[in-house]
A and B are shown apart, each in its own frame.
Chain A
Amino acid sequence: MKERGCPLGILIPGFIRFLREGHLQQSYLEISERNCFPAICGRICSAPCEKACILAKDGNPIAIRALERFSSDFGKTRSKKEPKNRNGKKVAIAGAGPAGLTAAWQLALKGYQVTVFESMDKPGGVLRYGVPEFRLPKRILDGEINDIKALGVEIRTNFLVGKTAAIEDLLKEGYQAVLLATGAGITKFMELPGANLTGVYYGEEFLMRVNLMKMNIFSQNIPAFPIGKKIAVVGSGNTALDCARAAVRLNREVTLIFRRTQEEMRVRQEDCEYGKEEGVKLEPLTRPVEVLSDAQNRVGGLKCIRMDYADVSGDGTWDLLPVPDSEFVLDVDTVILAIGHRPNSLIAKSESKLMLNDNETVYVDPVTRMTPIPGVFAAGNVVTNAGPLVSAMASGIKAAQNIDNYLKS
């Protein structure tokens, strides 16, 4: 039953059996059959497999994620998977994030010559600029990416497809297929009065500054942006929790504000408990109303209102509504808004032939996953909208299959 829980199709009972019998390396090979990032998924996967586990009903599923992590940390061995005979066909991939790298891995194994174009200065995408060091050490990430490079995948950093070279240029240069895997990293702006004050950051900016520029407390670089002592983080997803936990590590007082209850947060409860243990104060059932300013136009406080479930209409539907007269002011001097992302389909601004759906995802044919431009495919969160890591990786695998079919025919 359990293998169905994994979008990547890892044979979960298989690798656990190897572990039980003490064959660590065998178990690692079993996982790496379907997953190019076992060490990463073992740390930050949202683990849909644990929800699908038959023991989940009792509330104690098998800790598959932890087993995967153990297996990859201690049983890591050179995979026997070698690229097939090179077929001489070139494929370009835009975006060295989870989806792009997974597709590159699959295509390289199928014998294609793959080049991944990345706009940041190092590959990894959200795994590098988004996920903080304490959840995913950069050392682990580098190791996994080096394994992919070892298959002959070329990664070209500082190259923004659509600006540094248009898609057409790539097709002219001899790439027979282009895969757009630009992810969903665009900040969603929040309609909140006072959101433009100094001291209001979006989650992406905060994490990016902490992750990329080594602006943590242990480095010699001083924090290069004004950040106060008391921080309110708004949001209930992984970004919000990561921001809160990163801020705690910068020795700040952190309050996490979200509309719903803790059980409804879109994070693993385990991570939430870690956060609490580290000192993040949770304020569930609270909604920010306005960012108050002080005399210098900085954040002077955050006005919030309590929320609660109420059955107003009386027909048994419980809606989340603000509690009347429950407004209060949180004494904070920095606010971090982490309320979600939009798909990164900015490339459509310079490529008029690409079509966008209403929710700004790139339109692809549902069967072939090809965009209206022949030979140009799209995969990952730019197609599926913001989603967990494994679904982006699964999408990358499927796109690799589609590209293979297209180039063979």
Chain B
Amino acid sequence: MFEILNKQIVTQDIKRIDIYAPDIAKKVEPGQFVRVSPEEGDEHIPLSVVDWDRKKGTISFIFQEIGQTTGKLGSLPINEPIFSVLGPLGFASKIEKKGTVVCIATGIGTAQILPICRAYQKSGNKVIGIIGAKTKKNLLLEAQMRIACNKVFIATQDGTYERKGLATDVLKDLVHKKEVDFVYAIGSIEMMKEVCRLTQDNNIPTRVQLKPIMVDCLGMCGSCRVKVDNKIVFACVEGPEFDGHKVDFDDFIRRMKGFEESVPCPHKTQFNQQKKESGPLMRFLSGILSD
């Protein structure tokens, strides 16, 4: 039913899959996600919809192979169907005209922020994109971001490409120049926490996207509970977008750390940055792709 139409290796262990899902493609809006289960009896994982084509009826997502389920999904060949895809889930982002909007993302968050950047630009904002990555090799979707944003800053931790440092350092400079009206952040929890601390001091409204561990993504299991505004809410049905200044990040970090430390966890989206040892073919391919 949900046939894989195209598959692409973006970098080392990050893959892009296009699938045929006309019902979802008709409805999906920026900021929404789908629930994917590659084979019968597998875990259901939430994946952001990165791109869609309403005419062709396709949706695409980009994900990192960090566990059992994402690994299985990445190993499915073209023309093979995915067992279950449900969506679009969550609320669409509220895209309004704000002025200068900074979209800041690290890691796989770059893929998730791309539709948001496009939507903000379309509604007449000046969009500044900030991408953070460990090294040049881990940087993804640079070209697409450059098209979707009016200006893009890139920061690599080891200084192999453009600016050396963290993505939040770039934001700090921009905030000091007082030319930011709105900030949108997706990425590691530490980064989002730092962004919210920065913007709270300067009274800049900030929205973040949270993707905790989810089981059914329908508001039933309670696994994705996060503390927002001192109230416990479901990230799956009330999010995934929240007012960054109201999210209790310390509580969120504590919850996620626990999952990370437990060894046999197949799905640790965003949180485990450890690289898998990849084979020679993959290294070869990623070498070509990153240049």
Contacts and interface: CB of A to CB of B under 8 A. Distances in A.
B232 to A, nearest CB: 5
B261 A296 contact: yes
B216 A129 contact: yes
Given A189-B222, A208-B220, 8 more contacts: A158-B2, A160-B87, A163-B89, A196-B227, A197-B258, A222-B264, A225-B262, A226-B259
Contacts of B255: 196-198
Contacts of B215: 205, 208-209
Interface residues of B, number: 43
B87 A164 contact: yes
A273 B267 CA distance: 37
A157 B2 CA distance: 12
A140 to B, nearest CB: 18
Contact of A158 (B84, B223, B266): B84
A357 to B, nearest CB: 18
B43 interface: yes
Interface size class of A (residues with CB under 8 A): 35 or more
Interface of A: 119-121, 129, 157-160, 163-165, 185-187, 189, 195-199, 201-202, 204-205, 208-209, 212-214, 221-226, 296-298, 344, 346, 349
Nearest to A121: B84
A226 B41 contact: no
Nearest to B42: A213
B23 interface: yes
The 3 closest A-B pairs by CB, nearest first: A198-B258, A226-B262, A187-B222
Contacts of A344: 219-220
B83 interface: yes
B232 A189 contact: yes
B258 A296 contact: yes
B282 interface: no
Given A186-B220, A346-B237, A213 B265 contact: no
A113 B2 CA distance: 25
A164 B264 contact: no
A157 B85 CA distance: 10
A154 B261 CA distance: 44
Most buried by A among B44, B68, B86: B86
B74 interface: no
A163 B87 contact: yes
Contact of A224 (B85, B89, B225, B264): B264
Most buried by B among A121, A185, A186, A214: A121
B59 interface: no
Contacts of B266: 224
Nearest to A195: B232
B122 interface: no
B251 interface: yes
B220 A225 contact: no
B222 A197 contact: no
A129 B87 CA distance: 19
A224 B266 CA distance: 6
Contact of B265 (A157, A202, A224): A224
